[in-house]
């Protein structure tokens, strides 16, 4: 097998950095919202704690285990959520999340990338997402 | 180490029958589905191109050929598992449908409120969920035999459960998730002595070792064609004749009847009573070719090769720092190695391995109760078959080291 890692789109430095040094990782004391979701395909669980002040996300932390994609995605999402209103947060789309990761994601890994967004949507707004079945 | 006296497989020669290897892949996911040799796809193409027609219905020549080839698989399978009669060989879509057939046709009639069903924590979802549905419908309850720290069934606990006279015992001959080979013969004998009806899920058994259902002594034995070089969509339920005779049909419609009148229908004889509608004709013919192929290799040689490759992989993987292998030692495991890597998620390993064309499974392997028991969400799994060569294992090892280099 040849080593092409340096150029490897998937595991580029940016993703690895968020995986190894996740931002906003941990728990909040007395959160206003706390919610967990799992990916039944691999058993990964991601949870988020939110502190809300006057409709704005004052603080957010995530916890749980997962692969590079789900961890980096959670890290990036929490960075983006801090300080914005719940109304703004509601507008974050799947395409936004994938765009921010900036890498090509195979169909098999798309659920990993979107798990943190699901935690936000279901936790903060009770919006269950479509199509979640897995053998 | 190789098994004494068994003829060896000529893997280089075997691989020439599998065009897919020309793509350069290292295929380590045969427990999921196997590859298929030209002999199998050729037999199917022969049907499509030369005698494509429906079976059991038409009076013209090509339909007779189709029916002969289709029915011919039954005798091949009968001989392959040493059943007493072709009447005991029911075509299904696969193991899952075979187990569902038993749960429906035998289970609904025979399992009653308060009855005990014994399963094991090693079982595949397809040998758990049909029984859960049956238990919920009929008021039965289910107990699971646990594993010890090596991933082997706790036989002491199994014997205790048998003392409660279960109505049904169903277990996998080999664990698809961690490769444990269960002592099936002893377990069947004990269950029969306790008065239970016994189903053995042979999805990971029949492809990899010689099976003799009469020596095994079980009432039902289920397996899939696609894990033994055959196509998807064709599998087998073996059932003891008197049990099959006593059961009602599973699905109903054409071909499974003798006569239909407005007042009602009489059912066809075995095995056709359980084969409603137009069947997977090409796939069944393909399965027959797969059985011929395996019989030609000899199942002792198949088992010996897998054992050799498994021992090689087990040693190579055990040498890697931070790698944990689940399940028993190589002598008591089939060609399946499930493992985890410290700090590296199975999905990430699978993706990195894929960059080197190494096909590796990551996930719960349709054995979520076992994953929970092992305390892992998912594992990586390499599994082997007749065409697996050491070079493919070496490529897996390189992938693992690559993943460690990137992610640690």
B21-62 per-position pLDDT tens digit = 999 999 999 999 999 999 999 999 999 999 999 998 778 999
Which of B338, B361, B377 has the most A C-beta neighbours within 10 Å, making it the best mutation to test the interface with A? Answer: B377
User: Does the beta-carbon distance from B347 to A10 stay under 8 Å?
Assistant: no
Q: What confidence tier does B114 reach under pLDDT thresholds 50, 70, 90?
A: very high
Across the interface, of A1, A43, A67, the residue whose CB is closest to B364 is A43
Fold classification of B11-32+299-407 is 3.90.1150
B contacts of A111 (beta carbons < 8 Å): none
Q: What confidence tier does A130 reach under pLDDT thresholds 50, 70, 90?
A: very low
B contacts of A133 (beta carbons < 8 Å): none
Across the interface, of B345, B376, B406, the residue whose CB is closest to A5 is B406
Residue B5, pLDDT > 70, answer no
* Neighbouring C-beta atoms of residue B220, cutoff 10 Å: 26
Q: What confidence tier does A133 reach under pLDDT thresholds 50, 70, 90?
A: very low
User: Does the beta-carbon distance from B366 to A65 stay under 8 Å?
Assistant: no
Which tops the pLDDT comparison, B21 or A108? Answer: B21
| Alpha carbon distance, N-terminus to C-terminus of chain B | 34
**Could you give the CA distance from residue B86 to residue B238 in angstroms, rounded to a whole number?**
9
Nearest residue on chain A to B356, alpha-carbon basis: A1
**Could you give the CA distance from residue A54 to residue A51 in angstroms, rounded to a whole number?**
10
Fold: same for B11-32+299-407 and B41-296: no
Q: What confidence tier does A102 reach under pLDDT thresholds 50, 70, 90?
A: confident
User: Does the beta-carbon distance from A44 to B377 stay under 8 Å?
Assistant: yes
Domain range annotation of chain A: 26-125
pLDDT value of position A7? 39
Across the interface, of B347, B356, B395, the residue whose CB is closest to A109 is B347
Model pLDDT for residues B259-274, shown as the tens digit of each residue? 898 888 899 999 999 9
Tell me the nearest-neighbour CA distance from B234 into chain A, angstroms. Answer: 20
Cβ pairs bridging A and B (under 8 Å): 64
Mean pLDDT of A96-123: 90
Structure tokens at B110: 């025979």
**What CATH class has A26-125?**
alpha beta
Tell me the nearest-neighbour CA distance from B336 into chain A, angstroms. Answer: 19
User: Does the beta-carbon distance from B378 to A42 stay under 8 Å?
Assistant: yes
Domain range annotation of chain B: 11-32+299-407, 41-296
* Residue B193 C-alpha from the chain's centroid: 26
Alpha helices in B128-222 (DSSP H): 129-138, 155-162, 184-193, 213-216
Tell me the nearest-neighbour CA distance from A11 into chain B, angstroms. Answer: 8
B366 is catalytic: yes
Could you say which of B366, B371, B393, B400 is catalytic? B366
**Could you give the CA distance from residue B277 to residue B391 in angstroms, rounded to a whole number?**
45
User: Does the beta-carbon distance from B377 to A106 stay under 8 Å?
Assistant: no
Residue B117, pLDDT > 60, answer yes
Mean pLDDT of B244-249: 95
Are the C-beta atoms of residues A39 and A112 closer than 8 Å to each other? yes
In CATH terms, is domain B41-296 a member of 3.40.640.10? yes
* Residue B293 C-alpha from the chain's centroid: 17
Across the interface, of B351, B355, B407, the residue whose CB is closest to A109 is B351
Residue A6, pLDDT > 70, answer no
Model pLDDT for residues A10-38, shown as the tens digit of each residue? 677 888 999 999 999 999 999 999 999 98
Q: How many helices (H) and strands (E) does chain B have?
A: 15, 15
A contacts of B364 (beta carbons < 8 Å): 41-43
């Amino acid at each position: 097998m040849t080593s092409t890692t340096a150029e490897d789109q998937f595991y580029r430095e940016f993703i690895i950095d968020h995986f190894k040094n996740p931002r906003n990782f941990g728990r909040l004391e007395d959160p206003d919202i706390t919610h967990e979701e799992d990916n039944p395909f691999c058993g990964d669980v991601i949870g988020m704690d939110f502190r809300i002040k006057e409709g704005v996300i004052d603080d957010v932390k995530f916890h749980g285990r997962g692969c590079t994609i789900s961890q980096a995605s959670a890290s990036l999402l929490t960075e983006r959520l801090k300080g914005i209103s719940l109304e703004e947060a509601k507008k974050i789309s799947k395409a936004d999340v994938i765009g921010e990761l900036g890498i090509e994601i195979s169909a098999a890994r798309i659920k990993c990338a979107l798990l943190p967004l699901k935690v936000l949507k279901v936790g903060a707004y009770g919006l269950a997402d479509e199509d979640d079945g897995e053998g | 180490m190789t098994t004494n006296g068994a003829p060896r497989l000529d893997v280089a020669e075997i691989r020439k029958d599998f065009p897919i290897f020309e793509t350069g892949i290292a295929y380590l996911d045969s427990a999921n589905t196997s590859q298929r040799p030209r002999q199998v796809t050729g037999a199917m193409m022969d049907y499509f191109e030369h005698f494509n027609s429906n079976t059991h219905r038409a009076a013209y020549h090509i339909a007779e050929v189709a029916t002969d080839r289709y029915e011919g698989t039954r005798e091949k399978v009968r001989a392959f598992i040493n059943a007493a009669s072709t009447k005991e060989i029911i075509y299904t879509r696969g193991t899952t449908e075979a187990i569902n057939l038993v749960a429906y046709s035998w289970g609904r009639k025979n399992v009653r409120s308060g009855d005990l069903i014994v399963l094991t924590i090693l079982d595949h979802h397809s040998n758990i969920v049909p029984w859960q549905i049956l238990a919920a419908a009929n008021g039965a309850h289910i107990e699971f035999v646990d594993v010890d720290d090596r991933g082997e069934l706790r036989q002491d606990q199994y014997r205790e459960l048998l003392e409660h006279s279960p109505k049904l015992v169903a277990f996998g001959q080999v664990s698809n998730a961690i490769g444990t080979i269960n002592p099936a013969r002893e377990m069947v004998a004990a269950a029969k002595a306790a008065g239970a009806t016994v189903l053995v899920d042979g999805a990971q058994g029949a492809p990899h070792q010689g099976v003799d259902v009469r020596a095994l002594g079980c009432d039902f034995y289920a397996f899939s064609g696609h894990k033994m070089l055959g196509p998807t969509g064709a599998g087998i339920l073996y059932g003891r004749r008197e049990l099959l005779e006593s059961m009602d049909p599973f699905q109903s419609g054409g071909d499974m009847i003798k006569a239909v009148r407005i007042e009602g229908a009489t059912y066809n004889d075995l095995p056709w009573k359980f084969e409603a509608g137009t069947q997977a004709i090409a796939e069944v013919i393909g399965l027959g070719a797969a059985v011929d192929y395996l019989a030609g290799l000899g199942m002792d040689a198949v088992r010996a090769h897998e054992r050799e490759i498994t021992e090689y992989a087990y040693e190579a993987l055990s040498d890697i720092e931070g790698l944990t292998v689940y399940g028993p030692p190589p002598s008591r495991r089939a060609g399946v190695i499930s493992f985890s890597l410290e700090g590296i998620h199975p999905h990430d390993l699978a993706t990195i391995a894929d960059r080197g064309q190494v096909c590796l499974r990551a996930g719960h392997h349709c054995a979520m109760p076992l994953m929970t028991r092992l305390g892992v969400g998912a594992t990586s799994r390499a599994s082997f078959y007749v065409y697996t060569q050491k070079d493919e294992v070496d490529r897996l090892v390189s992938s693992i080291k690559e993943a460690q280099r990137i992610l640690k």
